[in-house]
Each structure stands twice: as C-alpha cells, then as structure tokens.
Structure 1
Amino acid sequence: MKKILVILIFFIGQASWAQTTSPSKREVIGRDIGQLKGIKISGRIMDEITGEGLVGATVTVPELDLTRVTDKNGGFELLLDRAEYTIQFRYVGYETIDYPITAVGDGRMTIRLIQEDFQLDDVVIFGRDPEKNIRSTDMGAITLSMNTMRELPPFMGEIDIVRSLATLPGVSQVGEASSGLNVRGGGVDQNLIQFAGAPIYNPSHMFGLFTAFNADVVNDVTLYKAVVPAKYGGRSSAILDILPKAGSVSKWGGDLMLSNYSGKISLNGPLIKDKVSILGGFRISYINWLLQSLSNPTVRNSQANFYDGNLVISAPISNKNEFTYSYYTSYDDFAFASDTTISWRNTAHSLQWKSKLSSKLSFEALGYYTLYDYGIFNLSGISDFEINSEIQDLGGKFFLGYNFSETSKIVFGGEYKQVNIQPGELVPKGTQEDILFKKVQNEAGREAGIHFQHDFELGEKFGFAYGLRYDTYQYLGSRVVRQYAENEPLSDGSSIGETSYKDGEVIQTYGGLGPRASFRYSLSKASSIKLGYNKMYQFIHLISNTATIAPSDVWKLSDNFLGPQIADQYSLGFYNNFKGNIFETSIEVYYKDLQNVVEYKDGATLIMQNHIETELIPAEGQAYGVELYVKKNLGRLTGWASYTYSRSLRRVITPYEEENINDGEWYASNFDKPHDLTLIGNYKVSTNTSISATFAYSTGRPVTFPEAKFEYSGINLAYFDSRNQQRLPDFHRLDFAVNFKFKGQGRFFDGNWTFSLLNVYGRRNSYSIYFGESDGSPPQALRLAILGVPLPSLSYAIKF
C-alpha cells in the first residue's frame, strides 16, 4: 500500500511540475498505465493574476482537429488515444500556450494564462471556439464576455451589461432611460433575468440610465432569445443568465474605477488558501452635481442616489465538489423637486453545489431567495402618504447530467418556487383626513417544473437538440375572489358576490408541456443551417401602461381571470464564417405567436386596484422579423454590424364591443420598432491606445396622441381614439470613446483612462411627447429628451 501511495505522489508531482516548466515534451500519466484508448485528460484554465476560471477558453488538439470550450468553472475534458500531442490553450486577450504531451494514462492539469497586449496584427486569438456558431445546435444563444463589452463605448463611464446586449440583432430598448430589454417583440417582463441563479425583477438604476450590475464582479452574460434550453422556464420571451466571478484562492487583488458620475471597487482573495475564496464589490453614484447644473428647475432641484453590492464565496473543496454562495443588493431613490420620492431595492441570495459524481455523471443543485420592494413617498406637508409594494421569490432547482460521449449528453432536472406579492399598501403620513389607509390583497402562487434535454451529433453534418419541460402552477389563498354576472364585462357594476379562500388553499391551477428542439445541418466547416422551435409558459405579468419597468408598475400573478402567457416561436438561420473565422455572419428569421398577453382597458386605473381584473383585457400577439449580423473578430479594426427588421403586434377581440381596442384590428405594441441598426467599431491605434464608436438608429416607438379636446364641467379633457397609431421621431445617436492604458513608474497612473462622449452630435431623441396648454393658442406638443446634449465622461480604472 505504501508503494502505491509513493507512486501516486510521484505521478501527481510530475503533473504539477509539467504545469510550471516548459520542456519540449510532457507525459500525462495516470492510474491506468496500460490503456491505449479513452485516456481522459482534464483540467482547468485560470487567470494567472486573479486565479479565476476562464469561461469559454478553447482547448485544441491540432493532430485530431479537436476543439473543446471550457465550462462555467474554466474546466475541460479531452478523450485521447495513447500518443504524442500538442495541446493549444487560447483565450482572447491572453497569451496562447502550446503544451506538448505524451498521453500515457488519465491525468489532470491546471493552466494559468497571462494577459497580453495586442502588438501584432497577425496573432490569431479567439476567446471561444471560433466555429461554435457553425457547429453547435444553439439558436439565438449569445454569450458576451467582459473583454468584448470593454470594447464598447462606456455609458457614463461604465461598462453597461444590458445596453451591450441591446447592440445585438433582435434585442432593443424603447429609449435612453429604459430598463430591461425587448427581445424579439416581447415585453420587458417576458425576460427572466437571473444573477447567480436568482431572479432579478428590476435590473436598473435611475429608471434605466445605469444597469444595476457591477461589471467587475461579472464573469459572463448569456442571452437565450430563440431556442431556450429546457432547464429554463417561467418567462415567455428570453432568458438572461448572469454569472458572477469567483475570487482567487491563491492571492489577493482587486479593481478600482472612478468616473465623474460613479465609482466602484472590488476585492478578492483566499479566505482559506487554495480552498475557499471571497469576492466583494461595491458601487455608488454621485450624480447630483450633474442634476444641479441643468437649466430645468424641476430637475435641478431633484436628487438621485443609488448603490449596489456583491459578495461571492466560492469553496472548491475538491476536484469533484464546489460550493458557491452569492449575495446581491441594489438600492435607488429619486426625489423630485415636488417632494415626491420613488425608491426600489433588489436583494438576492443563492447557494449552489456542483458535484462531479463520475467521469460521465454530474449533479448541480441551487437554492435562492429574492426580494424586490419599491415605494412612492410624498412628504410635502400636504396630504403626505407612502405607498409600499414588494415581491418575494423563494425557490430551488437541480440538474443531473450524463455524457454518453463527447458528442452526446443528456440533462434531467426539476424546479420549485413560491412567489408572494404585496401589490400595494397606502399609508397616510400626518393628520390629514383626506387620505385613508388602504391595502390591496396579497397574492401567492407556486410553480413547479420538470425537464430533460438531449444534445447529440450524427457525424460531422448533423446535430440535434431536443427537450421537454412540463410546468405547473397554482394560485393560492388567502384571498377574497369576486364573482361576476355572466354575459357582462368584468366591472364593479357586474359583481354579484365573493368567495373567501383560506391561507394556502388552491384557487386556480394551470399547466402545460413546453417542447424545445433545434436541428443543425453543416454545409461545410464554415457554414450551416439551423431550424428551431420553442414553447414557453409565463405565470407572472407586469401590469403597466408604460413601455419600460417603473417602480409604480404592478406585478400580477395568473389567477382565475388572467391565464398564463404562452409563446410559440419558430426560427430558421443560416450561419457562415469567412477567412479563417475572422468574419462571422448570420441571418435568422423568426415568427412568434403569443397568447394571454395583458392589455389594459381605456382609462384603466392600475395603482392600488384591489380588483385589477376589471381593468385588464387578455390579448393575443404576434412578432416576426429577420436579423442580420456581421462581426469582424480579428485585426486592428474589430466590431460588428447588426440590423433587424421586426414587427410586434397586438389584437384584442372580446364578446363586448366596448372593450375591443382599435375595433379588434391588429395594432403595434408599445415597443414595436420595425427598423433597428447598430454599428460597432473598435480600432487599436497602438498597444496602449484604442478608439471605439457606436452608431444606433431605430424607428420611433408607437404612441397615442389625443385626437381632440373637449370641456366637461369646466375642465379641459383630451379625447383619444385609436391606440398606438402614431410614432415618436426616429431615434439615432453616435457615441465615441478613447481608451489609454498607461504603464508608468507611479502606481496610480498604471491603469486605464477612458474618455467617452455620448450623443456626439447632440441629438434630442424623444423619450415621450406630451401636450401643454397656453392661453390664446391651441395645445402645443412638447418633447421630453433624456440626453439632449453631448454628455462627456472620464473614468480611471486600475487592477491591483
């Protein structure tokens, strides 16, 4: 036994020595010296400085024309025959390493890559498998690394995750101060945004001017907009999965960034050396000086504040087990000059366990808790009040994966969650008698889902991915539910009684199967055709008469009056790479059918509404479009161009003519923008200097203007006819940035200085248009522009 232990220690020492030296040939030796085939080489690729795993790095064996991409932890596996090989390790922005090895038996290695400066134009470095877009069965799955986002002009001095995604085809926003994303004709509530597996309900600061995620603690971001893997559910449009970084287990380090609008710092290092790491990040704004410098007296006398924080503790206790705890919080408040303050807060906890049960079998479990609370406060001294609302989301999920081979894998899993909503509570402040306490009934629901997915390839030409998910949902008491008269619209006047349900009692149940499938046919190594289908269910709705998320909006669960949203999407795409993957192109077309989309009645009252079903109407929707994408990956000039032609339409037909919208005809949704063009360019002037620019153009979003005005009881009232029949002026804007990397003698100046100019030519893009009265003249149209002038920013960032 002692001899065996000595031999094993010797072999482990040899593998460790191979990682830190560079001989012309290395032997990977393991527990089975005699095997000739099926030798497993596994390992992890890490950043030399921070120790964090590099997601999406490529591991290539040229002799076998074999390429693998590292997983979420930077891990990889290769199955080789007993022979000599040269393994290449590559990641964008890092030095490429070639490892000659002799594969004798199973072995494991740790590769540490060092960041490099791009000095030669002919150095070819890819941050992922350069042919993944051709060979995979993924449709509409987009992963952006932080290195890619750093090439974009920063928004007000910072990398903006959500705005970076909005530069891609099929993804848009309704304006310059809008939160969330509109993906392929879907509303912002139709996207599941999750950070470390926990859902986030409002991903914005300052009504959308900033994204509520600190890029320094984010590892990568993946958006699924077409065929969504079966392990995701609960939303009908898209999934945005944001993964945090893990701290280094070997040394301490961090990041610091200061700009003229905000500042942030992150710190990471070992809690227990080589076993447990911690990463913390904090960001805060100091933008009030800008508000106070503006000419508008209302804005000048307002105040805005926000902050967000992160904590990640990672414990890779062995090569087979890893635990990760993640905490996220964000807070905003905006005080108008009228003494009305709006605030909102996100809080999320998640705990994840990953286990490798065998060479082919893996297990993952995750539990989370999310709280989103928001409020409106009026402390003017006259009719003071406070309105509070909140959402609590508690759930867990697990995944069991089995790899039959390098080209065939299957994943099973399940998910359960409980959602509790306090829609609104009005609390009088002071002694005024004109405002009374009021509380909207709480809501509760639970969701559960089971799923499986199988991905496999048949030779080099064909690839398949198919899956099935079953979702079930229950709407729960305690609650008092109205009954309404038959053959009459739902209204206060048609109410005929009430039914009381006890706490936890099931009021309504929904469920359904959600199949997903995609097919890939490779025309050559550089081109392929893909076909996909996706069906998803959504049991929570954002009730709003605005085009973006606002703290005054109402989140509503499906009940016995409002069914779940159901989306069926069909996609077809052609993908082609040119000149050794330097150019990446694609064209995708899609059609999406939507059921039970929520619309509101004309003149609806949505805030503090105890029976909101009387204000809502179920609608049907359709969205279709074509997306063009061209990307240049290498050279001094890199970037991409994306163009989308799309339509997002709604239709409301009810048995009651007075409830029909636009006479039952199709009309544009609030976020319908037929033409959307984005041009991105980044030019490396020298090793230490780069210039980037973004130009965006889109059709103006639909709005409803009054057709006339009339006087009633001495009050002028507007008359509205058809909904969303007019549009705001077209949107276009140019942003520009210059980045300087200094390596001087002083530590303070050894960092990145970035100067950016948003809205270079001062375009006053209309966020909204409203009408004002003036004596002796007809009503005048007035335009609200968020960024009406060029907005400069200067930021300094350093790693330490």
Structure 2
Amino acid sequence: MRKYLLLLVLFSVCHLTAYSQQKTVIGRDIGQLKDIKIGGRLTDQITGEALVGATVTVRELNKTEVTNTNGSFNLVLDRAEYVLEIRYVGYETIIYPFVAVGDGRITLTMIQEDFDLDDVVVFGSDPEKNIRSTEMGAVSINMNTLKELPPFLGEVDIIRSIATLPGVSQAGEASSGLNVRGGGADQNLILFAGAPVYNPSHLFGLFTAFNPDMVNEFTLYKAIIPTKFGGRGSSILDITPRSGSLDRWGGDFMVGTVSGKASLNGPIIKNHLSAKVGFRGSYINWLLNSLNNPDLRSSNANFNDMNGILYGEINENHNVTYSFYRSYDDFALASDTTISWTNMSHTLRYQGKFGERTNVDVIGFYTEYDFSIFNKSGINNFDLQSGIQDLGLRLNFTYNLGERNKISFGADSKKITIRPGDLIPLPSDGESSVLPQSVQNEFGRESGVYAQHELEFGEKFGISYGLRYDFYQYFGPRTVREYAPNLPISNGTVIGERTYGDGELIQSYDGLGPRASFRYSFDSKTSIKGGYNRMYQFIHLISNTATIAPTDVWKLSDQFFKPQIVDQLSLGVYKNFKGNIFETSVEVYYKDIQNVIDYKDGARLLLQNNLETEIIPGQGKAYGAEFYVKKNLGRTTGWASYTYSRTFRRVITPFEEEIVNDGEWYPANFDKPHDLTLIGNYKLATNASFSATFSYSTGRPVSFPEAKFDFAGNSLAYFPNRNLQRLPDFHRLDISFNFKLKGKGLFYQGDWTFAIMNVYGRKNPYSIFFADQPGSPPQPYRLAILGVPLPTLSYSVKF
C-alpha cells in the first residue's frame, strides 16, 4: 500500500513540475516579430473583484506595469518567450511563463495568502518604485496592507493609518483632520472617487467616514503634487473605491463592538456590468441606554454610511464607473441639543484608451456637505443649518511618447456654493428670544489647466516638470461693505455698501503653479530626489479649533480674503537593503505660506455676515526632517517613522491693535516638533498574527490665561500672548490579535480580531478648559477622550 502511495505522490509531483514548466502561447502566429500587444486583467479568485495596483513584471526585460482601476495591464513585446511575475499585497505571487507570437489577451486570478511562515512578499507596487520614481512624498497604501494594523474601535481606519506616516499628524485622539508638513486641516483635499469630501469623520473624529470594505487603495501626495490636482495648499488624498466582480457574486460581513457593516457585489450583465453596495452603521445608542449613568443614558450617538458603485466595461479599452457615497451623523450628549452632519457625493467616470499611446480620464461630480444644530429644550428652540456644494468636471489626457517618456495635460472646473448659516426659530413652550438670522450665501468658481512631462534618461536620471494655471472667480448676488481707508476693518469703520447682482463678478484671482522634481540613481538601490511645488488655495476654514469640527464654516476668497499661496522645497535620499527587504528614506522640506488667516481677540465666527471684521491676515512657515524605515518581508514586518518639524505663524499689520505676539513668529495650533510612530506585525502561526502600534508626539501649543479682571459684572480671563504653553506630550500603545478560522462552511472561515486601544491607560488630553478659582487666574483642566484601556472584538467573513 505504501508503494502505491509513494508512486502516486511521485506521479503528482512530476505532473505538477511538468505543468509549471509548460508555457502558454499567446496570440495567433501570423509571422509578427515586433510590437506584439498583450493585454491582461487580474481578479480575486474567490470574489472575482478586480485587483487594482498589482505589479506585473516581465523578468527578461526588468519591465514593470501596474494594473489600473479595472485590474487591467498592457504590454508591448517582441516575439519571444517570457516569464511574468505578478505581485499584490496579501496575495500569493504568480509566476506565469508564456510565448508571445501575436496580439492577445489573458485573464489571471490571484488567491489570498494564508499567513505562511516562510518569507512572504508584501509589496503593493514595484519594490524599487521608491528608488526609480521621480515622485516625492507620494505614498500609496492598499487595503490589504492596512488590515495588518491594529484596528480602531473594531475596524481599520484610513485617516488614522495615514497619520502613522512621516510628516503627517493629527491634533488629538478624536481628530478627523490631518496636518501635513505644517499645513492646517483645511489645506488637505480629500477626494473619494474624484469628488471632494469636506468632513471625513464620524462621531467628531472617533471614526473615519469611509467604509474600508468599499475602498481599494488610497494615495497621499504631500510633497510634489501632480499638476492635475489643485485647490489645496498642503496635500491631496486620493481614495479609489473598489468596484464589483464581473463574473460572480460575493460580499463581506463584519460585526464589532460598536459598529457593523456589510457589502455585496456581483455581475448584473456578466463580463460587462457589475454592482457593489455597502452599508456601515453603529449601535452605540443601544450601549448607552444600557448604562447606569443617567447623563449617558439620555445621550445619543449614531452614524452610518453607504456606498453604491456601478462598473461597466464596454470593452477592454473603455469603461464607465458611477459611484454614490453618503454618510450621516447625529450626536447629543446629555442635552436637548442635537448636532448632525451629512456628506453626499455622486461621481461619473469614463476611462478610455485610444491606440497604444493615448489614455483619457473624464470625471464629473457633485458633492454636498450639510450640518445642523437642533435645539428643542422647550424654550428658545432653534435650528441652525449650514452647508456647501461642489459641482465639477475634470478632463485628463495622457500621451505616451515612449516607454519612459510621458506627457499628461488637461483641465478642470467646479462651481462652489456655500450656505454659511441660517438660524430658524422653532415653536417654544414660552416666549422665545431667538430671532431669525441668515448669512449671505457665497458663490465661486475654481478652474485650472495644466500640463506635465515625465522623462527618464537611462537608468540614472529622471525628471518630471509641469505647470498649472489656476483661475478663480467670486460672484454675486452679495452686498459688500466698504470701509474707511487707512483704518482697521471693523464695524466702526464702515462707510457704505455695494450690492452685486446675480452672477456679477466681484473679485478674481489667478496664478501659475510650477511643479518640478528630479531623481538621480546611484545604483538600483539608492537614489536622491528633489523638487519644488507651488499651490493655490481659494477656500478657507473658519474655525477656532485645531481640528475639523462639524460646525466649522468654509469661506471663499474675496476682496478681503486673498488666496493662500504655498511654496514648498523638498530633498530626499532613498535606500533599499537586502533585496528590497528594507526600505529607508530621509526627506527634508521647507514651506512658505502666504495669506493664512488668524483671528482677532474675542472674534465672533458663528452667523457672521462680515467675517472680515473678525479675521486678520498672516504669514506661515514650516520646515522639518522625516525619517522612515520599513521592513517588507519575513515573519515580522512593519515600519518606523520619525518627524522633526516646526510650524509657525506671524501676524503684522499697520495697526497695532491687530498685531499678534508683538509681531514675532509663534507656533501654530498644531505645531508638534517631535512625532514618532512604531508599527509591527508578527505572524504567530499559519492563521494568526499579532500587531502593535506605538505613537509619541510633543503636546500641541495652547494659550493659558495669566490673570483675570471684572467687566460689566463678569469675570473675564486675560491672555497676554498666544500659544506659548503646551499640552502634555501624547503617547499611546495599541495592540491587536487576529485569528483566521479555517473550517468548512461560510461562518467557519472568518477572521476574529481582538484589540486593545490605549493599553496602559494614558490620559492624553484632547482639549483643555479653564475654571475660575477665587484669588487666582483661571486654572486649566484637561479633557481625555480615551483615558482607560479600551478592548474591542470584531468578527468578519468574506463570501
């Protein structure tokens, strides 16, 4: 019996060996010798979903292509035998030998790896791309990589994962915004499927408003931003949604401690039209109602988001995608006041390839953000509403002059409408003192045209340079105040008003934004890069907080608010070690910021028709050094990032009463000189892994009162200067354990994830407030969001 088993095993091994050496013949043999066109598509073997961002390398030519948004790639080869090496994060590598004899197309499927103990490749792109590319400060993260990080409240978080990268930070533990290389939270343009998102948060920042199951990958541009992007000063976060399978139905399901989610996808017309829908919601209210604390039991916290994606493949060269996104929040903490906010967007995208050289990408979008403060206490009831809408179009053309010579050009335009605020009185039990109030709407248009050229001179040197022309218009209807010359702008210096009609031009700005970068490679593992970037920003966030809040108001540039102009210089050295197992980089930067806004002492920002009386213009500067080490292979993977950075503001005007801190540079609200992140993932077994994240940063600046005084019967605090003190330093450790079931049946093949946030119970201050003390200045007290260890448990399954 043993002999027969041995013979069977030997026969199987010989059969598999022969199969692995067999080469697929692609194309019809018609005697073609050169310019053979091979097209291909990669999909998940289980779900059939397209794999975007996978690398396809022709070993013999050392040539690498990256799959596009529908998982496709294209090669132009001579008649010969080749071997493709295909890699994708979290999937087993494919080695595909073939013979190219004529034009043809192949479809390949990839299967997810199963936590093998051997060295596992986790490259999500060309492993030497960080060395060979002319891009600086562009980081792409695939969702399979993201899932290796400790989850936040039961699931991975896009915004928080980005904050682990060098040069990127957040103001606090429950902050939704990002501060990138010394820029404010409003200086980041967040695009989901090409549409802007103005508030990317749930529950004031405890959750990100993007369902990770509906995201394929995301790219952060923080240094040299491609010319096709404009409108923000510091960074672009481009999030690509995941389309559904064209050949089979499948989905995901997850239930966690405070939230759950589900998605479903599959073909409507097989091989031509697919749909993917996803929903995520919280059940925090059920947990609050079960608590003994009466204040918490009377509170309300709820959020949900939903996505819908239709993907149509006309043929291998043309496809159309429609994407819908909506998120909703409402929150009330032991009060009769409810705060709610909503994001919504529609995007229609066409991607086409004409011939072998020309690619076209067209995106039309509509996006809307609304927030409301609703008070129904029985007296002085009111509803405060505000919102912003964008309607826009982007056209992008790419023309390949050669394998290492590419030109891209295009144009974009969008109309912006802002409703700063409408206060609506509601019926009350008694006499209400609330009067109706409305702030004038704002209307503007941002437009731009651009061109960019990417060229490589052999293996050593590459350049990328381009120019973007931005043009901005501010329209009526609007009534604008006129102020006395040579006096501070205030309510006391008004000398008249001017009324502009519907669509009448009030103010316009324009400017040229050059972008350029270079790369010099000393060898295949070492390079140096440098670049310069200029960005224009025509919209401003009016907020007295260091992070994005749902009650913030956006303000368009007008004759009083000039556009922000940001110039950035960057230089970096990149080095890979031990066959690309280790990636390292050091980058330094300097950033000059013109026309930043700051606030007068005691400024009133809410329901303000004339914000120019509360705002003062200023200057900004930022500089820093970023250090990054990443381990890509082995049982232990992860990265370490450290950033030393400084961010300053200065306000000098001709009027002494407007000068801040005697005209000296002072730290911005989000200035944190030291920022360290350590991330590790360790594969314990074939179906289990352990991960941990440790974060440390300097406490952000705050202003402490030094005295108090009485005015009109009220005790008021006196703040002599701004941002001269700091909150205590921030540090936190999060850990998670992931176990994958391997049984039979749908619910026996899922993933269990147990995580503990804030392992040692650090009471990191989220904000600070002051309480009056007799005989002394007001005393500071800290508010901590996560002051104790917080365990979470979640279970997810893919079918």
- Which of the five TM-score ranges fits, normalised by the shorter chain? over 0.9
Q: How far apart, in 2, do the equivalents of 1:490 and 1:298 lie? A: 44
Q: How far apart, in 2, do the equivalents of 1:447 and 1:501 lie? A: 20
For the 8 Å contact 2:768–2:783, the answer to whether it is kept is yes
Aligned length: 779
Report the equivalent of 2:25. 27
1:129 Cα deviation from its structure 2 partner: 0.6
Report the equivalent of 1:6. none
1:127 Cα deviation from its structure 2 partner: 2.5
* Distance change in 2, residues 1:746/1:40 (3 Å): closer
For 2:171, what is the secondary structure of its paired residue? coil
Q: Quick check: 1:698 aligned with 2:734?
A: no
* Distance change in 2, residues 1:399/1:605 (3 Å): same
For the 8 Å contact 2:763–2:787, the answer to whether it is kept is yes
Q: Quick check: 1:70 aligned with 2:67?
A: yes
Report the equivalent of 1:119. 116
Report the equivalent of 1:751. 750
Q: How far apart, in 1, do the equivalents of 2:313 and 2:661 lie? A: 59
Q: How far apart, in 2, do the equivalents of 1:673 and 1:779 lie? A: 25
For the 8 Å contact 2:531–2:571, the answer to whether it is kept is yes
For 1:724, the aligned partner's letter is N
For the 8 Å contact 1:320–1:355, the answer to whether it is kept is yes
Report the equivalent of 1:18. none
Q: Quick check: 1:173 aligned with 2:162?
A: no
Q: How far apart, in 2, do the equivalents of 1:566 and 1:743 lie? A: 55
Report the equivalent of 1:578. 577
Q: Quick check: 1:252 aligned with 2:245?
A: no
Report the equivalent of 1:495. 494
* Distance change in 2, residues 1:254/1:377 (3 Å): same
For 1:25, the aligned partner's letter is K
For 1:415, what is the secondary structure of its paired residue? strand
Counterparts of residues 233-248 of structure 1 (less than 5 Å)? 233-248=230-245
Report the equivalent of 1:86. 83
Q: Bigger CA drift: 44-53 or 701-710?
A: 44-53
Counterparts of residues 639-658 of structure 1 (less than 5 Å)? 639-658=638-657
Q: How far apart, in 2, do the equivalents of 1:666 and 1:775 lie? A: 34
Q: Quick check: 1:286 aligned with 2:301?
A: no
Task: Deviation per CA, 1:697-722: give whole Å up to 9, x if none.
Answer: 00000111111111223221111110
Q: How far apart, in 1, do the equivalents of 2:731 and 2:195 lie? A: 35
Q: How far apart, in 1, do the equivalents of 2:777 and 2:527 lie? A: 59
For 1:444, the aligned partner's letter is F
Task: Deviation per CA, 1:174-193: give whole Å up to 9, x if none.
Answer: 00111121100111110000
Report the equivalent of 2:313. 316
Task: Deviation per CA, 1:314-336: give whole Å up to 9, x if none.
Answer: 00111111000000000001012
For 1:316, what is the secondary structure of its paired residue? strand
Counterparts of residues 521-670 of structure 1 (less than 5 Å)? 521-670=520-669
1:84 Cα deviation from its structure 2 partner: 1.2
For the 8 Å contact 2:82–2:97, the answer to whether it is kept is yes
Task: Deviation per CA, 1:542-587: give whole Å up to 9, x if none.
Answer: 0111001112211000001001011000000000000000000000
Counterparts of residues 665-676 of structure 1 (less than 5 Å)? 665-676=664-675
Counterparts of residues 406-417 of structure 1 (less than 5 Å)? 406-417=403-414
Out of 344, 348, 363, the position equivalent to 1:347 is: 344
Report the equivalent of 2:458. 459
Q: How far apart, in 2, do the equivalents of 1:453 and 1:74 lie? A: 25
Q: How far apart, in 1, do the equivalents of 2:724 and 2:237 lie? A: 31
- How much is the aligned-residue C-alpha RMSD, in angstroms? 1.5
1:272 Cα deviation from its structure 2 partner: 1.0
Task: Deviation per CA, 1:81-123: give whole Å up to 9, x if none.
Answer: 2111112222222222222212222222111111121324235
Out of 192, 196, 205, the position equivalent to 2:202 is: 205
Q: How far apart, in 2, do the equivalents of 1:458 and 1:439 lie? A: 59
Q: How far apart, in 1, do the equivalents of 2:107 and 2:535 lie? A: 40
Q: Quick check: 1:158 aligned with 2:139?
A: no
Q: Quick check: 1:726 aligned with 2:713?
A: no
* Distance change in 2, residues 1:357/1:427 (3 Å): same
For the 8 Å contact 1:56–1:129, the answer to whether it is kept is no
TM-score by structure 1 length? Answer: 0.95
Report the equivalent of 1:444. 443
Report the equivalent of 1:3. none
Report the equivalent of 1:4. none
1:772 Cα deviation from its structure 2 partner: 1.5
Q: How far apart, in 2, do the equivalents of 1:746 and 1:46 lie? A: 23
1:78 Cα deviation from its structure 2 partner: 2.0
For the 8 Å contact 1:96–1:125, the answer to whether it is kept is no
For 1:339, the aligned partner's letter is D
For 1:685, what is the secondary structure of its paired residue? strand
Q: How far apart, in 2, do the equivalents of 1:68 and 1:775 lie? A: 70
For the 8 Å contact 2:89–2:145, the answer to whether it is kept is no
Q: How far apart, in 1, do the equivalents of 2:31 and 2:721 lie? A: 79
Q: Which runs of 4+ in 1 moved over 6 A?
A: 293-296, 775-778
1:63 Cα deviation from its structure 2 partner: 1.7
Task: Deviation per CA, 1:477-515: give whole Å up to 9, x if none.
Answer: 000011000010111110000000000000000000011
For the 8 Å contact 2:379–2:432, the answer to whether it is kept is no
Report the equivalent of 2:101. 104
Out of 189, 197, 203, the position equivalent to 1:192 is: 189
Report the equivalent of 2:5. none
TM-score by structure 2 length? Answer: 0.96
Q: How far apart, in 2, do the equivalents of 1:292 and 1:701 lie? A: 35
Report the equivalent of 1:680. 679
* Distance change in 2, residues 1:759/1:240 (3 Å): same
1:794 Cα deviation from its structure 2 partner: 0.2
Q: Quick check: 1:793 aligned with 2:774?
A: no
Q: How far apart, in 2, do the equivalents of 1:697 and 1:219 lie? A: 29
Q: Bigger CA drift: 480-489 or 705-714?
A: 705-714
For 1:484, the aligned partner's letter is Y
1:641 Cα deviation from its structure 2 partner: 0.2
For the 8 Å contact 2:50–2:245, the answer to whether it is kept is no
For 2:792, the aligned partner's letter is S
Task: Deviation per CA, 1:255-301: give whole Å up to 9, x if none.
Answer: 00000100000000011111100000000011235545778764553
* Distance change in 2, residues 1:608/1:537 (3 Å): same
For 2:131, what is the secondary structure of its paired residue? helix
Q: How far apart, in 2, do the equivalents of 1:117 and 1:721 lie? A: 60
Out of 353, 356, 372, the position equivalent to 1:356 is: 353
Give me the identity figure in percent: 66
Q: Bigger CA drift: 164-173 or 125-134?
A: 125-134
